[in-house]
Chains A and B, each alone.
Chain A
Amino acid sequence: MSSSRLVPRWMIALASVLILARIFAREWEERHPRVEHDIVPWRATLEQAEREAAATGKLILLEFSADWCGPCRVFDEEVLHDDAIAELISQRFVPFRVMESEAGAIATPGYDALQERFEVTGFPTLVVTLPGQAKPKRLVGAPGRRAMREFLEGALLAQARGRRETAPSATP
């Protein structure tokens, strides 16, 4: 009869197998990273986005995100991958994503300076720069599809209102 005080061998074997499986799973995931295709055509640099916005008269939409931020991933997957939202952004905005990363490889160069410039205090934060207005329009936290649409349409309305105010009146 075995002693009740013995550490069972199966427990040691199981722990060893699980540690090995963990190492292999990590290796496998690093070699086969999940490829996520963005529907939103993010611009490569802020300078490119600013040039394009100046040429087309579109608004710049900045998304401040981080790879360690859970709500950012949910927002990306469920809102930014929504066809209608992505189409609205593609057609009416010049999108640029500012990514903070612990890994460093996928971080946007100079992300900390951009966060400071646009006064970002949490993730995700959406910022729309409005020409002629000192304060950009911002949305902090992960909005749902409805709130995101309202935010984008609000920014477009503010742009249209700004244009009407600055344009010379046609009638005396």
Chain B
Amino acid sequence: MKIQSFEDLKAIASQYSRGLYAPDGIKVNIGMASCGIAAQAKATYDRALESFPGNNGVMICQTGCIGFCEEEPLVEIFEHGKNRLLYRKITADKVIEAIEGYRSGDFPKKWILGQMRDPRSVLDDDLANPLKGVTPLSGIPVLEDIPFYKHQVKIAMRNCGYIDPDRIEEYFARKGYMAFLAALKEMKPAEIIDVIKRSGLRGRGGGGFPTGIKWDTCAKHHGDRFIICNADEGDPGAYMDRSILEGDPHSVLEGMLIAARAIGSHQGYIYVRNEYPLAVKRLVTAIKQAKSYGLLGEDIAGTGFAFDIKISTGAGAFVCGESTALMSSLEGKVGRPRAKYVHTVAKGFRESPSNLNNVETYANVPPILLKGADWYDGMGTAHSKGTKVFSLVGKIKNTGLVEVPMGISLRDIVFTIGGGVLKKKKFKAVQTGGPSGGCIPEQFLDLPVDYQKLTEVGSIMGSGGMIVMDENTCMVDVARYFVEFLKEESCGQCNPCREGLEQMHDILSRICLGQGQLEDLSRLEELGIMMQRFSLCGLGTSAPNPVLTTILYFRNEYESHIRDHKCSAGVCKPLFHYEIQADVCTGCQVCFRKCPQEAISGQKKKPHTIDQDKCIKCGICYDECKFDAVTIR
């Protein structure tokens, strides 16, 4: 059927709402985004489906990213009138027992992360809490109160983990496309732009440009306008966009439709990086389903408005995340940026006015329209409104995706939500903003996270990647790593970037090999300033950031590498070796057995030693020793 009105939408929504919140029979939601699948959730799903085919009493369903990736495979089990439980690390061998246990009232505490208090989304104001009246189980924490979820407010990720991304009807059931219909039938384009402006929404891809102003400017330029979604997400360590696309693709489609209506466009493109095949698959299904309901294509909802979306894939080029390079790639060309004397909102794709926004930015648009600009503006800080999704990764206990209001402190993110550093090691830095960002040390942990504050300490918000580093991360190696990455990804057009990165890489590699000179630090600083001032595009101008911030905050590590030929983090192989402390070693022989080079010798219960000639410094003994007897010298 083609949706023509709010009533049509509401009719389908109410049909599917029951299945979402109060299913008859047991519903098993298995997290099947890329993280889940990487953790073998497909095997869990297949096993469950094998035992419970069809819909007789137990429904096996897939859902998107539930957020707590460290605990994947995540499985949610619930039934009308009973507790809604989130189970952790449910591999194929455990899933049947978990389901049978739920059925018979057996709830193994070790397997359960928590019980949900309220499954409604931020948009479900008119619905009563379906879990009201359900007696909580004793001994099982409330999911919304555990540190990982406590501070989170899900707006962009409002449906991830709650719906099956391959069923548009479930998106309808959580107020999906209501905002778009309102934009289409009840609002003028200028009004829509005004709401987005007043909400304070800023680009979530890293630039942080005010979205409302971008839309307004684009709308004022004449020509065939294009709505483009940047799903290139090249920052290593960031996967927020992937999760939104895999878990709730319609939130992006709806955001693009609203933008199209506001700006005046009939054609949209989603540029997805090639490394995200599942995201492409889910988008293809979503577009097909939206078309079948008449929400994409010609004469949408009988208003005469037409909009179509085409998917284009990248082919492995970080620089194609830059707006002009992306548009060039969309045209089937090489992804080389151009200088932005003329902005892409004036002349972009096919030399026409183009509005480019990030996935997360579009995902925020429908809630802003439904709940109003003041609601969004009420969250966050003076200059950064709303929420931001971060990927919390690296040397942290609770890895995963978190969506928090702007203004929360780094300390809260790393130590409360993140649970602190892995294996009780010492925190060293948190890297934000990907290769364009910087490393923030311990002294700034109480910084509120927003666009301005992060820039003040030399980093940037970026797309949201937050990589935690500990005492075993060498900051010189981190700088070298980023420069190497950017050197390979540089398009090569302009001298400052192409030559600057080459020289920086040479210098940093020498330092990591123990061939550094003290003048190297001022050379790096000089190169950095040159690149910041004179590079053609953002890749070049922000490339020095990781180097300059590490020199600023971790100068002692650089000096130690250069002057003392030491890498105290135990990363740069020519600059350290492992030694077993005789007075700590218990002779348990774990290292002896695990050493791939048979470089460790010793008798049971007697101190062991490492043969430095055989040792390849793979680090296995250091990681495996339970007594911290292996030290870095």
Question: Do A and B assemble together?
Answer: no
Please list the residues of chain A having a beta carbon within 8 angstroms of any beta carbon in chain B: none
Please list the residues of chain B having a beta carbon within 8 angstroms of any beta carbon in chain A: none
